[in-house]
Amino acid sequence: MTEVNDLLHQLNQDSRTQFQERQVILSFSGFLNRLRDRPSHMTRNAAEYLYDTFHHFGSSEISQDGQTRWKIFDLGTHKNVPIVGSEAVQDEIYKVITGFVRQGYSNKLLMMHGPNGSAKTSIVESIAHAMQKYSETDDGAVYRFNWIFPTDKSLTAKAAGSHGPIGFVGESAGYSALKEESFAFLDEAKIASKIPSEYKENPVYLIPLPHRETLLRKWLAAEQGIAEADVEIPQNLMMAGLSKRNQLIFENLLAAYDGDLGKVLRHVQVERFYYSKQYRVGVSTVEPQMAIDAYEKQLTMDKNIANLPPVLHNISFHEAEGPLIEANRGILEFSDMLKRPIEAFKYLLSTVEKGTANLPSSTAPLDIVFFATTNEKHLDAFKTIPDFASFRSRFELLTAPYLLRPSLEAQIYDQDVKSLRKNKAIAPHTLELLCLWATMTRLKQPNPDYYDTKYRALLSRLDPRSKIKLYEGEPLHPVFKPQEEAQLYELRKEIEGEYQNVVAYEGRFGASPREIRSILYRAQQNKNHDTLTPMAIFEELERLVKDRTVYEFLQLEPRGKYHQPHEFIAICR
Q: Map 452-510 to HEC letters.
A: CHHHHHHHCCCCHHHHHHHHHCCCCCCCCCHHHHHHHHHCHHHHHHCCCCCCCCCCCCC
Q: Return the DSSP state at 293.
A: S
Span 209-229, average pLDDT: 93
Query: Is the separation of the CB atoms in 367 and 160 below 8 Å?
Result: no
Residue 76: pLDDT band with limits 50, 70, 90:
confident
- 3-class DSSP state of 532: strand
pLDDT category of residue 487 using cuts at 50, 70 and 90: very high
| Domain assignment of residue 215, yes or no | no
Give the mean model confidence (pLDDT) for residues 215-222: 95
**Which domain covers residue 542, as residue numbers?**
406-572
pLDDT of residue 176: 39
Q: Is residue 370 part of a domain?
A: no
Q: Is residue 295 part of a domain?
A: no
Per-residue pLDDT reduced to its tens digit, 257-272: 999 999 999 999 999 9
Residue 241: per-residue pLDDT: 82
User: Looking at the predicted structure, is the pLDDT value of residue 226 above 60?
Assistant: yes
Asked if the model's pLDDT at residue 117 lies above 60, the reply is yes
pLDDT at 251 over 90: yes
Is the pLDDT at 454 greater than 90? The verdict is: no
Residue 294 lies in a domain: no
- The DSSP result for 409-434, as a single string, is HHHHTHHHHHHHHTTS-B-TTHHHHH
Q: Which helix (H) or strand (E) segment is 128 a member of?
A: helix 120-135
User: Cis (ω within 30 of 0) for the bond into 478?
Assistant: yes
Q: What mean pLDDT value characterizes the chain?
A: 86
pLDDT band at 469 (very low <50, low <70, confident <90, very high): very high
| Per-residue b or e along 526-553, where b marks 16 or more CB atoms closer than 10 Å to that residue's CB | beebeebbbebbbbbbeebbeeeeebeb
Asked which of 175-189, 247-261, 459-473 is least confident by mean pLDDT, the reply is 175-189
Q: Binning pLDDT at 50, 70 and 90, where does residue 172 land?
A: very low
Read off the pLDDT band of 154 (50, 70, 90): very low
pLDDT tens column, 330-376: 999 999 999 998 888 888 988 999 998 888 878 888 999 999 999 99
553 domain residue, yes or no: yes
d(CA 223, CA 37) in angstroms, rounded, equals: 8
User: What is the Cα gyration radius of the chain?
Assistant: 30
pLDDT for 167: 41
Residue 322 and residue 42: Cα distance in Å, rounded? 26
State the pLDDT at residue 290: 67
- How confident is the model over 294-310, as pLDDT tens digits? 755 665 556 666 667 76
According to the model, what pLDDT value does residue 551 have? 87
Number of domains in the chain: 1
Residue 394 lies in a domain: no
Q: Looking at the domain assignment, is residue 321 inside a domain?
A: no
532 falls within a domain: yes
Q: What is the DSSP string of 305-363?
A: HHTS-GGGTTS--EEEESHHHHTTTSEEEETTGGGS-GGGTTTHHHHHHHSEEE-SSSE
